[in-house]
Amino acid sequence: MSADCIFCKIVTGAIPCNKIYEDDDVIAFHDIKPAASVHFLIVPKLHIESLKDCDASHQALLGKVMLLVPKLAAKQGLAGFKTLINTGREGGQEVFHIHVHVIGGGPRAA
């Protein structure tokens, strides 16, 4: 838990989200600014800043997140999807709590 982290606040419920999945380790919710008709984020509850900050102790957690990708995508009706992890400011990361974007379903309706 990091006091000024927006995703930690979503994890605790201090900031609301449009949640699609939650268990003891992970929460998933729709992106507030969707890049396509389906765009959700899978977020480990543990505050890890980025993929660069992961080590062997996070292996099971990362594996769990990756295996959730196709399951949650299917529940959102996606036959196929893009999976994206932005890492570091130079990699386009804006929220420094590791998360996986899952994007699909074509362009958003206007």
Which residues are designated catalytic?
Answer: 99
Rounded Cα distance between 64 and 88, Å, is: 22
Question: How does DSSP classify residue 108?
Answer: P
Which of positions 22-81 make contact with Zn ion (CB under 5 A)?
47
CB of 104 vs ligand 5GP, minimal distance in Å: 14
Under the criterion CB under 6 A, does residue 110 sit at the interface with ligand 5GP?
Answer: no
The pair of structure tokens assigned to 106 is 């074509």
> Closest Cα partner for 80 from 100, 102, 108, 109?
102
Q: What are phi and psi of 15, to 5 degrees?
A: -120, 130
Under the criterion CB under 6 A, does residue 32 sit at the interface with ligand 5GP?
Answer: yes
Under the criterion CB under 6 A, does residue 49 sit at the interface with ligand 5GP?
Answer: no
Q: Would you say 8 or 78 has its CB closer to ligand 5GP?
A: 8
58 binds, among Zn ion, ligand 5GP, none (CB under 5 to 8 A by kind): none
Q: Is 27 helix (H, G, I), strand (E, B) or coil?
A: strand
The number of residues making up the chain comes to: 110
Under the criterion CB under 6 A, does residue 93 sit at the interface with ligand 5GP?
Answer: yes
Residues that bind ligand 5GP (CB under 6 A): 6, 15, 17, 29-33, 86, 92-95
